[in-house]
Chains A and B, each alone.
Chain A
């Protein structure tokens, strides 16, 4: 049983809006892997390409996935807080164009290379893994998709 009072505090609300302010300032809402320099966050975070030749087509890497996960987490907590408090959300889905992270295991992300490619190829068209595994991200993705339905 979740205690709802934990969301209503003013300190929680302030911290939440700090989070939204920073995440939108660094461009978490408009993920653009192909040309990261167009992201506002490029001003403060240097983008390091593993292969400068492929700078145009950044594939799925640990960094891009972590960025997507963070973006999704921030977006979700915003909706969660507004659901439990009845206050309006600070972040409209109309301005959230960052794609959802893929349902791949942390180990594959860390290992990268072939293993990651293999796991990616085993995903279904919605980004779920087809092996019946439940990773940390899986439950989270479920909630996100539910939100997208509504």
Chain B
């Protein structure tokens, strides 16, 4: 077999691969198959990583040898076979503490005088690309967390695995659906007014203009009022959601002076960022409303307790954050800031809600 990889000699030197049981490099699959890669459930032979990512047929014959595509592209070091990376077994493995330290093991290779690309550094790369996607069910920094979604697709080699559409060209229907759920959370206009007034008359609102907050609410209902009238229908909400999603894809332009500055993100320019800021303000307002007044709000017909209403609105805020990940700007930064403050309040003792919210 031409182009015998360096793995064989490394194994002779006794270099320990922490991942040996799940990694098969060309030719070592045959001679040193500690745990041979099983056939796929559909009976086909597994593809090597580059071919799997590119979703093309991989003709590794005999199985485990360098496939013709990798040979042609001269990327023999990448021609590795991982056991079904999407299965639970691999996921647990890749998030295991030992896996990420595959790369530091490579100095032993330098000692052997091998300067060629090391398989273990390949493991490191592959793990780096996969771990984020398969962070597992921890709930913290999972696939659904904000920081997981905000990564720059241009810098990401694994972006071809994602369904990536040019943000300017098309609107993702999933985003429109998500936006509809945000709009469903938005209380009725009169509720919004009462609650926002309660919030704005409290001291401690830092970092945002009170008047512009009011303006976001007023102009939202001025612009989309006919669609947001009760009872809200899915058809109407879809239209509003689509318009806002479309707007959110545009770059935020904030002029220097006051009217333009506010108009940049309200009215027809309402974006998911401004929607999120508004929802945070409303959530804070609901917390600040006395219990007796809360019973008078029509919001109380849907939610028996204030906290339940706030948590529902908070979910809307999180959805907004997810929706406006296409652009980074000061407004999304502001939304994150406000969301953080709200989170600290919700996380604290619920009996101390009346404390200074904005601190």
Which A residues are within 8 Å of any B CB, using their own CB? Answer: 1-3, 5-7, 9-12, 14-19, 21-23, 25-26, 28, 41, 44-46, 48-50, 58, 61-64, 66-67, 69-70, 73-74, 77, 80, 106, 109-112, 136-137, 139-140
Contacts and interface: CB of A to CB of B under 8 A. Distances in A.
B351 to A, nearest CB: 9
Q: 10 tightest CB-CB pairs across the interface, nearest first?
A: A6-B348, A61-B256, A110-B258, A19-B336, A9-B347, A3-B348, A73-B207, A45-B329, A15-B340, A3-B349
B261 to A, nearest CB: 5
12 contacts: A15-B339, A15-B343, A16-B340, A18-B146, A41-B329, A50-B255, A63-B261, A70-B333, A70-B334, A77-B341, A110-B209, A140-B206
Interface stretch (B5-13, B105-113, B175-183, B246-254): B246-254
B259 to A, nearest CB: 8
Contact of A109 (B209, B336, B349): B209
Contacts, number: 146
A26 B330 contact: yes
Contact of A26 (B147, B251, B333): B333
Contacts of B332: 22
B344 interface: yes
Contacts of A66: 207-209, 261, 330
B203 to A, nearest CB: 7
Nearest to B141: A14
- Of the four ranges (under 10, 10 to 19, 20 to 34, 35 or more), the interface on chain B belongs to 35 or more
A111 B210 CA distance: 14
A133 to B, nearest CB: 13
A18 B205 CA distance: 21
A26 B150 CA distance: 13
B343 A50 contact: no
B286 interface: no
A41 B211 CA distance: 26
Contact of A77 (B205, B328, B340, B345): B340
B169 interface: no
B257 A45 contact: no
B141 A3 contact: no
B327 A44 contact: yes
Given A22-B150, A22-B333, A73-B206, A11 B343 contact: yes
